[in-house]
Chains A and B, each alone.
Chain A
Amino acid sequence: MRYEAPETIKAAVGLLIKARGQSRILAGGTDLMVQMRSGMLEPDLIMDIKRIPGMRDIVPEKGGFRIGAAVSGSELGEHAKVSKMWPGVVEAVELIGSTQIQGRATMVGNLCNASPAADSVPALIAVGATARIVGNKRTRDVPVETIAKAPGKTILAKGEFVSSVFLPKALPRTGSAYLRFIPRTEMDIAVVGSGVCLTLNPKGVVTKARVSLGAVAARALLVEEAADVLLGNKLNDDVLERLADIASDAATPINDKRGTVAFRKQVAGVLTRRAALIAFQRAKG
């Protein structure tokens, strides 16, 4: 096993291209180190990206924010402007692990670990975030919902890694929220997660909506039918009930010790309804 800490993206990509066997990116290491210790993974190359300029920065861009791949949960949570613009994203990231984990874990790591239950992913999908993929030939920006293919699998090709996530500018009267269900109050893996982002017109009618569910399929889902039921409407009981039904129907979870299929489907509806109400309140300001 080799440890490398390149100082440019170009050098990093070069190392990944040349590497034989398995390579892994080290940012926060909170998934990587656990996987290595449990014997799930024996990488030939560990590439620490934290010495590459920009990886630990949060930079304003086009009215939104670009979050470097090595920005920790605590650093994101302490950023007042990001927290104000996209509370749904920040509250999702802050749900991940303990204070110690927050000091290291990154949003991009959460995304690229490709766990179906990743808390930040439905929140990122809901706000329309994009991930920047750097590689040998080109740099591309893709919607975050396309990164994970299946549990633990991403679309990243050899030589590629995600260098940042971009949170777009929030339109006026936009609110975001993320809720998850776990069997205890803290420090657990989502049984169901739901991220909602709404934009309202001055009359309180929804003009833009995105809804995403986590932990109820092989990857986080963008539920377009759920957004459609909100569009052009106010959040009255009838609309919220239909929203909950659609979210429950969209969920295709598995039975496991954390929850049954029926329970998860029901909770997907309940959480989506509640997250929509929180997003609505935030949008109203």
Chain B
Amino acid sequence: MSNIHVTTTINGDETEYVCRPDESLLDVLRDRLGMSGTKEGCGTGDCGACSVTLDGRLVCSCLVMGAEVDGHKVETIEGMADGEDLHPLQQKFLEHAALQCGICTPGFLVAAQSLLERNLDPTETEVRYWLAGNLCRCTGYDKIVRAVLDTAKDMRKVAKKSSAKKTAKKGARHAA
């Protein structure tokens, strides 16, 4: 089995590694790169604990080969917070107690972020369908769904304010 040299971008950083052809991206992240934030649940694409984005698309890293991400962009849970500042979703998960054991949480956060990037005003049904591939055995899902909806609400307010500011600035410029 010959090893493969891969150059890829993970959370914005150019990363190189060597992996075996039978290793999944999940194996590479956890065992070769020491990025253990991404969790292994089922290993067969059913539970979503290993969710990452690949070129902006939500995927299960257990179903992606380490070899095939050469030249692509991967985003993981490690890239979510800005240093010590939690992402709004992370903060809301804490406030709503949307986690207990925490194994599913990185996957839920990455999946929810992927939803909010596409749709900042999802209905509860849309949230539930989008997250249907993420399994949680502790919370009963309700707190997770509420946390996501609450985050979306806050992020809409921030987006509105910043666009209002921009408009005001534009207006000021025009007036000048």
Contact = CB atoms under 8 A, between A and B. Distances in A.
Contact of B68 (A5, A186, A187): A5
Interface stretch (B9-17, B59-67, B82-90, B95-103): B59-67
Interface residues of B, number: 32
A48 interface: yes
| Interface band, chain A | 20 to 34
B22 A48 contact: no
Interface string A1-26: 11101000000000000000000001
A142 interface: no
Interface in A74-105: 74, 97-101, 103-104
Contacts of A97: 45, 133
A1 B22 contact: yes
Contact of A37 (B43, B114, B130, B134): B43
Report which residue of A30, A46, A98 has the largest number of chain B beta carbons within 10 angstroms of its beta carbon.
Answer: A98
A34 B44 CA distance: 5
A116 B51 CA distance: 29
B21 interface: yes
Contact of B133 (A3, A33, A72, A99): A99
B116 interface: no
B74 interface: no
Given A1-B21, A97-B133, A29 B57 contact: no
B38 interface: no
A50 interface: yes
Contacts of B43: 37
